[in-house]
Structure 1
């Protein structure tokens, strides 16, 4: 088993996979239907398991996302079904979700929260899980991603709609406490630098946003200004090179106070928050 795992990791490393040992082990645990920590207790694979494992390692070496191969992605305390047609949630976004959960939980009444560009429904599902008293609404434009969000948000009580962030939730205008969004933010010119897993498998609608990567953020700034009640807050993820330009979108409009940029666990600029001026 050790040799099997080593050979699989070597194949993934040669293919440029960022975490070859962990991916090899996660795929093996998936094939065996066991938790990762129980792999050392497994003595051998039968012929069917060996064939299935080899097939998955080959697909991962071709840079197919790990989560597409296992069919799920962990996000904070929830599991999400993911696959072709939806953006795979990243660990960095858990910080933005945590901010939204804290903002919603800080009120002395049930908060009204809107998740724009919900994708798989990751942030909305985390909100429903960790801020159960909040009234959570979510919207997604892409029909393929919407189908995954419907699956993930079923039974959570989240109000999920099909629509554009630029016009969504007109019925909630001026009543929302927290707007949260993980918009597309990659500049078109950065195409070649995007990891193969994202560039070749994530929906481009969820990745690219104009020449400077800020087109969707500009739309979000305007829509959040419509949706939020005075004093309400907005939070949005951005690329690590947009630590000044993303907050600049909010400061330039004159609608916002407390514009603050936040860093991820690696110390990189990751998301911006702001409060609608009273």
Structure 2
């Protein structure tokens, strides 16, 4: 078998992207993956690369990125960033990669506050990279918020994102759990672990992303059970909590919050899958 480490990737950027994409057959987006890695190696945006640099020589470092992607390392870890809602986040190992499905929570919050004053106080439980908190603060410039996480790695990344996005005067990242802090709040956001322990996941998720941010017991509901018991005192009277769920957890997760006397609606993501519990007191 030939040594893939020595396999040429092409004489120019265009050819190398095609060769790399052919090696990413495990990915749902092999061409996009290759383009993002090449743009990162060139130090420019993907759009600028496509418009002006496809005929350039292959940059140093691209082959190493291809090998790491072949080992199923997430693209966001390789490039160090991820777009989410209207912001660009720094991400890295030890922190869950923000996903487009999670933007459903921000959409639900925008719908809740349509036609009324936006939230003054935002709480993000299990903030990770700070994605939900900082997207909400970008949406409502007058709001202030707190992001809580138990992971030191996540706290470091989230604080860096606060600084980079110029929100240090509006956002605090603290160590904490589902019990919250300084409530009640107008908007609570939460993307807890919700995957069953024995679930089959892509290698790039199971091997590279933090298990503590993914798995929640045999049925994936362990963290919802805890959150449901402590959430109500954290929500202001006219407030809302937007909580991410797995696509098969609409009924089971909703029941936990309704049992605590809260009202729950289920919002779907752009793929038509149950994705967000919209919880009100």
- TM-score, reference length from structure 1: 0.89
| CA distance in structure 1 between the aligned counterparts of 2:121 and 2:88, rounded to whole angstroms | 23
Residue 102 of structure 2 corresponds to which residue in structure 1? Answer: 93
Gaps of 5+ in 2: 1-12
Of 109-118 and 85-94, the range deviating more from structure 2: 109-118
Q: 1:196 offset after TM fit, Å? A: 1.2
Larger helix share, 1 or 2: 1
The verdict on how the C-alpha distance between 1:223 and 1:107 changes in structure 2, with shifts beyond 3 A counting, is: farther
Aligned partner of 1:23 among 33, 37, 42: 33
Matches within 5 A, 1:36-47: 36-40=46-50, 41-42=52-53, 43-45=55-57
Distance 1:178 1:218 in 2: 20
CA–CA distance in structure 1, aligned partners of residues 118 and 207 of structure 2: 44
Aligned CA distance change for structure 1 residues 109 and 204 (closer, same or farther; 3 Å): closer
Kindly indicate whether the alpha-carbon contact (under 8 Å) linking 1:263 and 1:269 is maintained by their aligned counterparts in 2.
yes
Partner of 1:256: 262
User: What residue in structure 2 maps to residue 5 of structure 1?
Assistant: 17
**Is residue 279 of structure 2 the alignment partner of residue 267 of structure 1?**
no
Q: Give me the CA root mean square deviation.
A: 1.7
**Equivalent residues, number:** 263
Residues 55, 261 of structure 1: alpha-carbon distance in 2 compared, 3 angstrom cutoff: same
Q: 3-state DSSP class of the match of 1:188?
A: coil
Q: How does 1:1-278 map to 2 (within 5 A)?
A: 1-13=13-25, 16-40=26-50, 41-42=52-53, 43-45=55-57, 49=59, 51-103=60-112, 107-108=116-117, 110-154=119-163, 155-156=166-167, 157-165=170-178, 167-169=179-181, 171-172=182-183, 175-190=184-199, 193-253=200-260, 255-257=261-263, 259-276=264-281
Of the structure 1 ranges 219-228 and 20-29, higher mean CA displacement relative to structure 2 is found in 219-228
Point out where structure 1 has 5 or more consecutive residues left out of the alignment. Answer: none
How much does 1:226 deviate? Answer: 1.6
In 2, the alpha carbon distance for the partners of 1:18 and 1:183 equals: 25
Moved more, 99-108 or 218-227: 99-108
